[in-house]
Amino acid sequence: MTAQEILADIHALEEELLELERKYGLRSEIFYAAYTNGEEPENENWVLDFSEWASVYRTWLARQAEYRNEVQRMQGGSPSLKGLIRAVA
Amino acid sequence: MTDPFRTPEDYEIFLYTLRERYSSVRHSTLSFIRRGHSLARVTGEIHFDHDIRLVILERLVFDRLPLRIDGYGYGKVAARQAVWDTERLKLAEPHLLKRLRRQDLPLQPFQLLVGGDVLHRAPDFHGKASKAHRHLSEKYIPASL
């Protein structure tokens, strides 16, 4: 995937993460750390959301890493924006 | 047919032709919704005979092919105008695995989970659900019910 394609995935995933963060009043990274540590949801009704949240967050982490790798590859060692920006009107 | 998981387009066609492929499917409201570049969601219901409905939510990832189902839930099942609470699951998640073990349910990568009352109140439900499951599963979903 190109950097732009990965970024499109990241934005789509962030929309889902934001929705859950608003619903539960908690940043995803805080949630995920507790979740992967085995913390059980206090409320039975949260179980499905938590499972979904963790899954979306994992995919988001993967795409973030892919994006960084792709950008570094394109930059070829220099912190330039050349070739990275694709302005959309 | 070709493997429905080969590409997102194949899976989309598969979902939108369920009724033509399987006589037990009466109606389907499944929608394949693309998100970002290589993500999609499938949401909706499949209606079978006797008012049995399978509510479906899937998260699909296809940055590499064949596409894979990254997360899923199969929810409320209604029978004869009565709706019972059911459970959705996502395997490989610690909380749900624990619950499955407590309920002594089989662990399969794809299952229809129904609330305990359903089997008692609708004695034929299990058979219908099994049939539907077999129809939907074919080669890529292990039969479990």
> Tokens in use for A29?
């990274």
Q: Do A9 and B90 touch (CB under 8 A)?
A: no
Q: Is residue A85 part of a domain?
A: no
Q: How many CB atoms within 10 Å of residue A80?
A: 10
Q: Is residue B133 part of a domain?
A: yes
Q: Do A47 and B39 touch (CB under 8 A)?
A: no
Q: What is the pLDDT of residues B109-134, one digit of tens each?
A: 333 443 333 333 333 434 444 444 44
Higher-confidence residue of A59 and A86: namely: A59
Q: Do B61 and A59 touch (CB under 8 A)?
A: yes
From chain B, pick out residues whose CB is under 8 angstroms from the CB of A59.
Answer: 39, 61, 70
d(CA A19, CA A53): 10
The number of distinct structural domains making up chain A is 1
Residue B86 domain boundaries: 8-137
Q: What is the pLDDT of residues B79-105, one digit of tens each?
A: 433 333 334 444 334 454 454 444 444
The number of distinct structural domains making up chain B is 1
Q: Is residue A88 part of a domain?
A: no
Write the ipTM.
Answer: 0.84
Residue A14 domain boundaries: 3-75
Q: What is the largest CA-CA distance in chain B?
A: 45
Q: Is residue A86 part of a domain?
A: no
Give the dihedral sign, CA A23/A25/A27/A32: negative
Residue with tokens 């890529």: B140
Q: Is residue B142 part of a domain?
A: no
Q: Do B38 and A50 touch (CB under 8 A)?
A: no
Does A79 touch chain B if contact means CB atoms closer than 8 Å?
no
